Amino acid sequence: MNKKHLKVGSLAFVAWYVISKPEGAAGLVNNALSGLGNAAVSVSHFMNAIST
């Protein structure tokens, strides 16, 4: 099995998940983006703390 097969399999799984459970997929994306936003805020607070 090579990387191409893994990519195609992963894309197929994501497509299946989005089609079969759209609410769950939306929640997953929302949680991921919320986590990234929280990380950005934390880095911003850290940078402000070390610059003062």
Asked if residue 1 has pLDDT above 90, the reply is no
25, 18 Cβ separation under 8 angstroms: yes
Q: What is the pLDDT of residues 2-44, one digit of tens each?
A: 899 999 999 999 899 889 999 998 998 999 999 999 999 999 9
Task: Say what the pTM is.
Answer: 0.61
Estimate the crossing angle of helix 22-51 against helix 3-20, to 10 degrees. Answer: 110
Check residue 52 and give its pLDDT: 73
Ranges of H-type helices in 1-52? 3-20, 22-51
Cα(36)–Cα(8) distance, integer angstroms? 26
Which of the 8 DSSP states describes residue 52? -
Backbone angles phi, psi at 2, to 5 degrees: -110, 180
Please report, for the chain, the start and end positions of each structural domain, with discontinuous segments joined by +.
Answer: 22-52
Check residue 2 and give its pLDDT: 86
